[in-house]
Chain A
Amino acid sequence: MERIHLLNKLWEYQHQFGYISKKAISEISILLNVSAIEIESVISFYHFFQKNPTGKHTIYLSNNIISELKGFAEVKTAFEKETGCTFNELGNEEFSLFETSCIGLNDQSPAALINFQPFADLTPKKVSLIIQKIRNGENVINFASKVKSKIHFIPTNNKAVIFKPYEIGTSIKEGLKYTPQQIIDKISKSKLLGCGGAFFEVGYKWQSCKNNEADAKYIICNADEGEPGTFKDRALLQHLPGLVIEGMILAGYATGAREGIFYLRAEYQFLLKELEQQIKQFHDKNLLGKNIQEIEGFNFEIRIQLGGGSYVCGAASALIESLEGRRGEPPVRTWSATKYGFKNKPTVVNNVETLAYASRIIELGEDFFLTIGTPKSPGTKLISISGDVAKPGIYEIEYGTTIGDLLSIEMSQATSPYLVQVSGPSGECLNTTEFNRKICKEDILCGGSFMVFNRNRDILQILRNFMEFFKEESCGVCTPCRAGNFILTEKVKKIQRGLCTQEDLDEIQQWGNIIKLSSRCGLGKASPNALIMATEKFKDYFNVKIAPNNGNQNVEFDMENAIYEFDSLIKDTQL
């Protein structure tokens, strides 16, 4: 067995037995001819691989912030009550309960995955019904939620790019009229920016992969959508999977790659069947496989690789590590992936949405694309809106649309918005004075996550949720991110306990900047963003938290908390 198939092997065991036993580990290690600890090391890195037996039904409840604000606690209690299990413990024969980071269903939260089938808009009552059905022997596949997201907005005046009629093969057939170089020139001219969060120019990436000669090249579609609050990639894969596949094929044609890999996050495995059917359809229509559309020698195959549950694997370099069957630690980078990527061959990693745009640009022409949006960021962008809005869901907006427009009655219908978190916890938080800012390269970019919080929400609760996310998802390889995010989480908790001084807020800035400066990859470099910005932009909120300086040189000390344990223990143990 090749190492690159390790994750699939682990999924086989996980699905069949509910966990990966010591015996299985030993078997796999013999197959791969490595020490057992190396296999264990991979298993324990990914959230969804279990080392201990789990019940027949594993329930992963998303603990992201929107869920937390919309009834997470009640739903969690309901699950515990109905199943008789406790979260994050082993569970019983029938059930095991776990919390998990955002599962990409923020427009329908609280949501959970039961045996990896989605269950959305949960309430305690709904939970009770679900568990009852399971106990009655019904298969969860048959009553899982239909979670296709609503598309609430499409630009008018014929400015829509993504959400318009689609017919399988149109872009490919159009694209094959051009030479590979012409395709790249068209994409370059369109100034298409990557939609996965880094906004790198797509044409440049494709060109550099094309220029690097090699006997094999790869196109990877990054469907790891892990940034809390984004679900536009899932929506695209549900609404227009063909468009994404065509983008991969065109990228292959343009760069000379012959294999494409979908890296699908484990949370989205309920989409697997449909995606596989799509791929089959492409084969049937001679849009995939050998000599595509009778072009001699143009072969392209696509396979799907399931992730294992890890946010950092969305980062292109970590994703490649994961594809190669290792822990998703972003490697020390000396070369870009377009030179030495997957299996050390030139590789293009593009986001789901990016590839969909690439198809549309070929289909509709780059000149059309350039008439939309702003000079530096032409076209449109998919935004996933959730939180305190009347209409959570997907919005295709023209670049240049303001935050205020997105919140308005015509669009998401936000109710007294107070804090808007753009691009997820790694992104930027905005206060009410910034609602006139425009989503575009000239002003503020948005990777896809757009979470709205109203006046009644507690900023510290939001920040704590974000910090716990990074603490949990840090790959653990470098000190500032691994230890620093833990330290910052403790700081937020301290302020939540009412022990806040101006010094604490200053330290958040200083420590946050140290983490940003010295972390190895994008996760650590972005992790303190929200915290740093919130303390700057919501001074009114934080000033109230600061304890008055009592003039002496005592530090805020919570004596009550310090002796609480002793007092209660004494009460319990007196003879």
Chain B
Amino acid sequence: MENITFKLDGRICTAEKGLNLIEAAKQNGIFIPTLCHFKHLNPLGSCRVCTVNLNGRSVAGCTIQVQEGMDIEVNTIELLDTRKAILEMMFVEGNHFCPSCEKSGDCQMQNLGYETGIRFTRFPHLFVDRLVDARPERIVINQNRCIKCKRCIEEVKTADGYNVFSFTERGNSTKVSIDYKQEAKLSEIEAERAMQICPTGSILVKGKTFSKPFGDRQFDLGPEGKLFSLDKIKKHRTKNKKKRIATTSLAGCFGCHMSMLDIDLGLLDLLEVVEFNKSPLTDLKNFTEHCDIGLIEGGCCNTNNIEVLREFRKHCDILVSVGECAIWGGLPAIRNTFPLEECLREAYLESMTSEEGATIIPNHEDIPKILNKVYSNHEVVKIDYHIPGCPPNANHIWNVVKHILFEEEYSIAYPEFKYD
């Protein structure tokens, strides 16, 4: 075996000639994120989260075989941001409701979201209605979560050599389709292997999901000691002796508020230094004073949510979106892939329990109007910070709050940074 030397971010490294860059970088202590890359497969080069610069040109890292003298950049500001953006594209392109996903905690895409510290996506979610196909014998394929990495297409074959999966359509309609006849030939073990190969939750085997409890899943704990710094967050100075906080729940489930209470006795310490103004915790319905921080749970699904949110923006110096619903719509946004009319008809006019002609869609000047879709808060007002999670970990919430209000630095531990 011949060893060669090459440069990674300016550092001289050595590896076996022709070795895949991802592997070579790992041997030299540099992590390059990957999703479609899979041990023994030919490079697929489809997801692009491994984008690096090779001699000044951007290339998918997983397609590079290291050669003598290569000059490779991995962690420039631009590349770090590009890789993060590509992951964000995956989140907005599909419909990733992690809290209700069977793969959550074992999902490689979700884990990369954690690794790269994605709190919210810079892109608006696309909310395209995508197919969930449960017709195959053993497998359920959920297009909402597929990132078109092609692993299944290249890797899953029947014993007699036929492809089971294939792309169909093209452009943004590209999807992984399954050959029912070939799928039926797969053994239980082969089907489960397909599920494992898939880096997301889009290939599932009937009856084989949700097997691991929280805490035991592959990415629940993560690398020991990994911390997320609270970067890009404004510190806030105020002359008030007691800092004032307001909270509200818009289109949410109050789960985030429950989580806020979850620091148990810590709450008493907190009350020494902060006071709550308008909030379900105090039952104050209106702002009585200007506040330092507003914590918003839930997104906007009706006209009242919009009003309340704008009111918060007016009365709070710093606004924080707390939880997935506030950040991008979350579970209520499951309806966003359907027209509003269909949802309301289903709920009020054509449901099993509604008598024909006897029910109407509720409508009165005193009740808010339902919006055409659920909006994330940052589509309506400027949001200063986002705390992911469904619900977010209590420590995460209060560390952010303390970071904003007091001079000390806080960080978030890996297990506290979650989407579910």
Contact = CB atoms under 8 A, between A and B. Distances in A.
Interface of A: 34-38, 40-41, 44-45, 310, 327, 329, 332, 334, 471-480, 482-487, 490, 507, 511, 514, 517-520, 552-555, 557, 559, 561-567, 569-570, 573-575
20 contacts: A37-B179, A44-B169, A327-B167, A473-B170, A477-B148, A482-B93, A482-B174, A486-B126, A490-B126, A511-B122, A514-B82, A518-B51, A519-B48, A552-B314, A553-B381, A554-B310, A563-B369, A566-B370, A569-B344, A575-B357
B361 A40 contact: no
Interface-central residue, A41, A473, A479, A514, by most chain B CB under 10 Å? A479
B306 interface: yes
Nearest to B65: A334
A35 B157 CA distance: 10
B52 to A, nearest CB: 10
Q: Name B's interface SS.
A: mixed
B92 A476 contact: no
A40 to B, nearest CB: 6
A476 B143 CA distance: 14
B380 interface: yes
B349 interface: yes
Given A476-B148, A514-B85, A520-B45, A555 B171 contact: no
A400 B165 CA distance: 52
B58 A518 contact: yes
Contacts of B60: 332, 520
Contacts of B168: 37, 40-41, 44-45
Nearest to A562: B371
Given A477-B148, A553-B381, A565-B339, A35 B63 contact: no
Contacts of B75: none
B382 A554 contact: yes
Contact of B163 (A34, A473, A507, A563): A34
What 6 A-B pairs have minimum CB-CB distances, sorted nearest first?
A476-B174, A37-B179, A553-B382, A41-B166, A483-B93, A332-B45
A327 B82 CA distance: 28
B89 A562 contact: no
Given A35-B166, A310-B170, 7 more contacts: A35-B181, A38-B163, A327-B170, A479-B48, A482-B93, A482-B174, A553-B313
Interface string B170-187: 111110011101100000
B214 interface: no
Q: Name A's interface SS.
A: helix
Nearest to B89: A483
A479 B313 contact: no
B118 interface: no
B409 to A, nearest CB: 26
B43 interface: yes
Interface in B69-95: 78, 81-82, 85-86, 89-90, 92-93
A520 B150 CA distance: 14
Interface string B81-111: 1100110011011000000000000000000
Interface-central residue, A37, A327, A487, A570, by most chain B CB under 10 Å? A37
A479 B306 contact: no
A37 B379 CA distance: 41
B15 interface: no
Interface-central residue, B43, B63, B372, by most chain A CB under 10 Å? B372
B415 interface: no
